[in-house]
Structures are given as C-alpha cells and as structure tokens.
Amino acid sequence: MILLKDLIKFPEDEYHHIKVKFNQWNGYDNPIDLYKTEPDVINKQWLFWRTKRRYFNVGDIAICFAQISGDYWLLTTVKRVTEELNVENGINYLGDEFVQYSGLYGRTIVKFHKDFQTQCRLISGIEEDLEVNQILSDTFDDDDFPGYDRIKLSYAKLASILNRGKRDWIAALESQKAVYLITDTNTGKLYVGSATSDNGMLLQLCSKWSWWQQRTNSTG
C-alpha cells in the first residue's frame, strides 16, 4: 500500500502546519466537475475561501482534494499559505504552489473515508489513512463517450466536451447521422431536426448549437 505521504514528503516537524482541504458538493456545484473545466476555481477559490472560520494560517501547507465520489478524492494542488487578506465570504489567502509535485496534481486519486463534517483537517492523525489508489497517465477526465444509446447532455456538458476536444466524442459525433431533439429549458419548446452527411453529421450540429447558445447567452 502506498500512502500520500510516500509521494509528498514533508519533514515531521512540519506536520502541525499541514492541513488537508476536502472539497465536496456544496448543494450547488460539484468540485470535480468544476476542476475539469476551470482548475483554478478549486485551487484558489474553493481552497482559500473563508466564511467566518479561518482554516489556515500564514506558513501552513494546504493540500487540496476534490471528491470524485464516495471515498475517492483527486489531488488538485499543494500550496504554502503566504498571505492572509482578512476577507470574510471571499478568497482570504494567497499561496505558492509546490511545483516539485506538479506531476501529481490532477492525476493522483486517493482513497479516504471521510467521517467528519469539517472540510479541513490537520494531516496528523489521518496520514496513515490517505491511501494512493491510482496515479493516472493523464489529467483526470471521466467524460468518456458512453455509447449512442446513453447520451443525454446539458448544454454546459456539451460545450465542455467540445471545448476540450475530446477525441472519442468527436470521432463518434463526426461519423454519426441522427435525428435529434433540443429542449429549451426556459420555454419548454422542443425542436426536432436531423443531422446528415449533407450538413456535417452530428458533430457539426453540436458545434453550431454550442456556438448559438454562447451567442444567445452573451447577448441576453
């Protein structure tokens, strides 16, 4: 068994300064979904956000996790807190990332059973339970093409897939004819159309729909 402390090595006299931030679904957003499109939202905003409670002090080492599901967590960054901004209900800290561990960020999945409510804990006392489950060959991304009969996408998910150039999705969509249904969630109106080789197959339709939706949002 490999533990996180076997990969990220800090002197024992630093352990009372090392804190682990466990980022979970907050009722509105899922941190692992945000991380896939905007890593800095997790590595800055979610890690260093403060309400009334202070999680960190200047000099602390902050280890940031985003929950994938259940007991599985993705390591997203490790930072040394360099400054406190005295902000409530906002980003209250600045920090420098440990670049020597950058190859592990977004790739290291840790198994840990979180049975406490607080989001932040000192690593001392839980370091033996932070088990490395997997180190991915590339940055975490669980949006693999599921098969034509299992596709049900929101606009946000579609835009994210196209913007990231997901090869399996692009290969599937650019070779597929389809009859499609678009639902306007604001009005409830439905639009039925078809994608053929004459109009660029399903990929071209998805690209146009993504562009049109962005233009509509930007113009109100």
Domain boundaries, the chain: 4-135, 148-219
- Secondary structure (DSSP) of the chain: --BHHHHS---GGGGGGEEEEEE---SS--HHHHHHH-HHIIIIIIHHEESSS----TT-EEEEEEEEETTEEEEEEEEEEEEE---SSEE-EEEEE-GGGGGGTTTEEEE----SS-SEEESTTTGGG-EEEEE-SSS--------GGG----HHHHHHHHHTT-HHHHHHHTT--EEEEEE-TTT--EEEEEE-GGGTHHHHHHHHHHHHHHHHHHH-
Mean pLDDT over residues 119-125, rounded? 94
d(CA 173, CA 168): 9
| Residues comprising the chain, all counted | 220
Instruction: Extract long-range pairs of 210-213: CB within 8 Å, 24+ residues apart.
Output: 210/155, 210/158, 210/159, 210/162, 213/155, 213/159
Mean pLDDT over residues 187-201, rounded? Answer: 75
For residue 4, what pLDDT band results from cuts at 50, 70 and 90?
very high
Q: What is the pLDDT of residues 131-169, one digit of tens each?
A: 999 998 778 876 666 676 666 666 666 666 666 666 666
Please state, as a whole number, how many other Cβ atoms lie within 10 Å of the Cβ of residue 216: 9
Q: pLDDT tier at 220 (50, 70, 90 boundaries)?
A: very low
| pTM exceeding the 0.85 threshold for the entire prediction | no
Q: Taking phi first (over 0 means left), then psi (-120 to 50 degrees means alpha), and beta for anything else, what does residue 147 get?
A: left
Indicate if the pLDDT at residue 121 is higher than 80.
yes
What distances in angstroms separate CA 208 from CA 176, 177, 202, 217, one per listed residue? Answer: 16, 15, 10, 14
Token pair listed for 18: 């090392």
Res 19: pLDDT? 97
Which tens digits make up the pLDDT trace of 63-115?
999 999 899 999 999 999 999 999 999 999 999 999 999 999 999 999 999 99
Summarize the confidence of residues 8-14 as an average pLDDT: 89
Q: Token pair for residue 50?
A: 């403060």
Q: Residue 188's pLDDT band (boundaries 50, 70, 90)?
A: confident
pLDDT tens digits along 16-68: 999 999 999 998 899 998 998 889 999 999 999 998 888 999 999 999 999 99
